[in-house]
Chains A and B, each alone.
Chain A
């Protein structure tokens, strides 16, 4: 098949380098780099989360109690930038780094040195971005979307733009690496249509990344030249058009939404069959649905712009295209339910997060469908209804999938079982408080509360207070997660078996737990019965 022995010469083939600097800073090992990504993203989750705590604290009751409005705006912009580019995306890259070579039977990523570089760019990008909070001009305060002309008023624009360029370079390199690995490094017998759905989802996501990150880079570069080099791309005074920015930004931004959810679909498609002990329902449909969603994501960008005054024809086109996405998305949800049907289910923590994902992501999908209807969106747009929607998709969607994946593969990574009791405590607290946090925001939006405001009319007081309480408790709950991770990695006495889960299938479960530093140095002999999707074409 397409196995290529692109193997770096290591000094020590059977263990990790001893020195800390050698091992972590100079690493070319996909597992170590995956770990770095995951630790980085967990750190960012807490930094972005602390911004969210400040936002919810200010919104706890009407009146300004804690901060100036400008600082509030910095918090909303930075919360989004840190969570999207610092927490969610690197977490998926980390999971991909760790698991894709193990799932396709490759010894490492195709381009190990580039892998190191794409990780180590990130800490610098975020130091740059976060440092703006301590600079005289303050951080970006025009929202993560950085719409001009407002974003051009920010003194730290150049910092934010340069940070985004770095993140973009990192993402593109990561994506190239993943594509090269999947297309060239699969073990003989691991046909494309036998790959795990997670690998498929990452392959498609990587193409999305390569396609749209340059559009973002272009948009923010135009901001930079408008501000510092006298161009007028977005300045109406010089013949430019502020709406042009929004078109370019959302041409990136909508596929970006799917970049943050397609790998989550992949994860759920791994977890559900394992704990239902039954192969995934409609493997081909699942893969096709992901490809379909990825294609559609390129032709729906203006649904973020229904209120900018688009011509009628454009509004109708983008409405129909957006509504269409609910068909392949619906197929995925139905297939997960059908996978459970007739299975033999158990409910360990990863499965609990997967089930919560299916329900809560679907709720986010429903509000997404409602927002696709242009006349209704004239009311929803830029309100808390939107805030509720994308947090259902990104927190109970993407983040829950990432947490589920961490529980699912943690025993393989560490060689130890995590504490099932504390995992469940973490799950139930998360799922309850996240709904207390975000569900009332639907009501706030429908009642007319705009997003990104630091203070509000007293009519919105009740639901805001409930939402804030949910927010504080959801935030605190994530400390349990850290506890579970540390316990599992360093203190757990319960050793994991190689298979870990009774119903687990796929190459990653054929290697020892913990996964040795080097795996599949000789390509595995693939037995279709061992694969989750070995018999799709039969």
Chain B
């Protein structure tokens, strides 16, 4: 690639990155995206800022160390007549360059620890959703909302049929043509998304029915493994309504790359309406719901 090409790409990416960091949160990955997204939950800025601070620190150290090295490479070359000196240690310098990194590390550790503590606190949640991974789809069961337990709202969520047809070997179909509106959703769309309300602390309890999966929506700022026999908990509080996309992040077999996650964040009123509809329809065709329950025997087991 020519340097002009690289420059063009970087300019395009920088413009894109600026646009996406500026106002709306990034709901899905963008072409030429260079950095982590800020996310769309109250906690998601934590990893984002930590990433930026750590990257900044590393860049500064890198520039200092590598420039020292390049200065050495240019000044102390034999071809310029440099004669080797004899010294081979200097205690002061060694103490200094051991101490300074320690101080930097303490700062980073402080930032990371406080962010981690807030992540680990799942108390005070207003809603609980149970997430179960299967080869190769997700199941969502709504457990409670605003202190009331929810009756039989749960469903499977798997790769949308257009992506699924396109991704077959030799399908001859164009991945760029898989779109919802003008968003390119190839392998990042599902038949039935998880629907949750905005501005609500949602507790996710996550497990698996077969092998280990990992539930990851970058907009939440975290991923956590779905492990058979173990129930993991994490929380998210989305700040902006929208559609947020993610994928299974732990290798789980042949279709690991084809079990996306879509979270639709609705306003509280819209969510209440949606939930009521779901509860009503789950009561009518009880048989359908029952088969779904049977399909998830391991999910009920506490680890």
B194 CB to closest chain A CB (Å) equals 17
- Report Cα–Cα, A50/B1, bound state, in Å: 24
Q: Which of A240, A308, A339, A363 has the most CB of B within 10 A?
A: A308
Residue B222, interface by CB 8 Å: yes
The one of B166, B211, B249 that contacts A382, using a Cβ cutoff of 8 Å: B249
Which residues on B sit within 8 Å (CB–CB) of A226? none
Residue A15, interface by CB 8 Å: no
Residue A358, interface by CB 8 Å: yes
- Report Cα–Cα, A315/B114, bound state, in Å: 12
- B138-167 interface (Cβ within 8 A of A): 166-167
Contact in complex: A153, B31 (CB < 8 Å): no
Which residues on B sit within 8 Å (CB–CB) of A237? 229, 298
Contact in complex: B167, A64 (CB < 8 Å): yes
Contact in complex: A450, B112 (CB < 8 Å): no
The one of A73, A141, A362 that contacts B62, using a Cβ cutoff of 8 Å: A362
Interface SS of chain A: helix, strand, loop or mixed?
A: helix
> What is the interface residue range for chain A against chain B?
35 or more
Which residues on B sit within 8 Å (CB–CB) of A341? 68, 72, 76
- B4-62 interface (Cβ within 8 A of A): 9, 28-37, 46-48, 50-51, 54-55, 58, 61-62
Contact in complex: B232, A309 (CB < 8 Å): yes
- Report Cα–Cα, A459/B183, bound state, in Å: 10
Which residues on A sit within 8 Å (CB–CB) of B227? 242-243, 308-309
- A455-496 interface (Cβ within 8 A of B): 455-463, 466
Contact in complex: A461, B31 (CB < 8 Å): yes
Contact in complex: A459, B184 (CB < 8 Å): yes
Which residues on A sit within 8 Å (CB–CB) of B273? none
Residue B270, interface by CB 8 Å: no
Tally chain B residues at the interface, Cβ within 8 Å.
Answer: 106
Which residues on B sit within 8 Å (CB–CB) of A137? none
0/1 string, A267-289, CB within 8 A of B gives 1: 00000000011111111110000
A536 CB to closest chain B CB (Å) equals 8
Which stretch (A85-93, A122-130, A316-324) binds chain B?
A316-324
Which stretch (B90-98, B123-131, B276-284, B288-296) binds chain A?
B90-98
The one of B79, B119, B166 that contacts A378, using a Cβ cutoff of 8 Å: B119
A532 CB to closest chain B CB (Å) equals 10
Contact in complex: A446, B47 (CB < 8 Å): no
- Report Cα–Cα, A212/B228, bound state, in Å: 27
The one of B86, B188, B251, B298 that contacts A143, using a Cβ cutoff of 8 Å: B251
Contact in complex: A327, B98 (CB < 8 Å): yes
Which stretch (A35-43, A111-119, A173-181, A330-338) binds chain B?
A330-338
Which residues on B sit within 8 Å (CB–CB) of A374? 112, 116
Which residues on B sit within 8 Å (CB–CB) of A383? 249
Which residues on A sit within 8 Å (CB–CB) of B112? 319, 373-376
Residue A359, interface by CB 8 Å: yes
- A249-282 interface (Cβ within 8 A of B): 276-282
- A224-254 interface (Cβ within 8 A of B): 236-237, 240-243
Contact in complex: A462, B32 (CB < 8 Å): yes
Which residues on A sit within 8 Å (CB–CB) of B30? 447, 459
B118 CB to closest chain A CB (Å) equals 9
Nearest-CB residue, chain A, relative to B69 = A337
- Report Cα–Cα, A334/B229, bound state, in Å: 47
- Report Cα–Cα, A347/B102, bound state, in Å: 33
Total cross-chain contacts (CB, 8 A): 312
Contact in complex: A315, B116 (CB < 8 Å): yes
- Report Cα–Cα, A338/B97, bound state, in Å: 11
Residue A307, interface by CB 8 Å: yes
Residue A344, interface by CB 8 Å: yes
Q: Which of A277, A376, A461 has the most CB of B within 10 A?
A: A376
Residue A221, interface by CB 8 Å: no
Contact in complex: A320, B229 (CB < 8 Å): no
Q: Which of A64, A67, A367 has the most CB of B within 10 A?
A: A64
Which residues on A sit within 8 Å (CB–CB) of B46? 375
Contact in complex: A327, B102 (CB < 8 Å): yes
Nearest-CB residue, chain A, relative to B301 = A236
Residue A345, interface by CB 8 Å: yes
Residue B250, interface by CB 8 Å: yes
- A361-383 interface (Cβ within 8 A of B): 362-363, 366-367, 369-370, 373-376, 378-383
A278 with B85, Cβ < 8 A, contacts A149-B210, A326-B105, A378-B222 known? yes
The one of A369, A452, A458 that contacts B54, using a Cβ cutoff of 8 Å: A369
Nearest-CB residue, chain B, relative to A460 = B29
Residue A522, interface by CB 8 Å: no
Contact in complex: B58, A280 (CB < 8 Å): no
Contact in complex: A331, B97 (CB < 8 Å): yes
- Report Cα–Cα, A345/B80, bound state, in Å: 9
Residue A531, interface by CB 8 Å: no
0/1 string, A62-83, CB within 8 A of B gives 1: 1111111110010000000000
Residue A34, interface by CB 8 Å: no
A376 with B69, Cβ < 8 A, contacts A447-B33, A450-B249 known? no
Which residues on B sit within 8 Å (CB–CB) of A5? none
A65 CB to closest chain B CB (Å) equals 8
- Report Cα–Cα, A378/B175, bound state, in Å: 29
Residue B73, interface by CB 8 Å: yes
Which residues on B sit within 8 Å (CB–CB) of A345? 72-73, 76-78, 82
Beyond contacts A65-B170, A323-B109: 9 other A-B pairs, Cβ-Cβ < 8 A, are A64-B170, A149-B211, A316-B116, A323-B108, A331-B98, A345-B82, A370-B58, A374-B112, A448-B247
- Ranked nearest first, the 9 interchain pairs of A and B with the lowest CB-CB distance are A236-B229, A453-B257, A309-B232, A366-B58, A447-B33, A378-B222, A342-B85, A62-B175, A344-B84
* Residues of chain A at the chain B interface (Cβ within 8 Å): 62-70, 73, 141-143, 147, 149-150, 153, 236-237, 240-243, 276-285, 307-309, 312, 315-316, 319-320, 323-324, 326-327, 330-331, 333-334, 337-347, 355, 358-359, 362-363, 366-367, 369-370, 373-376, 378-383, 436, 443, 446-463, 466, 503
Can you list 16 A-B contacts with CB-CB less than 8 angstroms, sorted by A residue number?
A64-B171, A73-B256, A150-B212, A243-B230, A278-B88, A281-B89, A282-B89, A309-B227, A342-B84, A344-B77, A344-B82, A375-B47, A376-B36, A378-B221, A443-B33, A448-B29
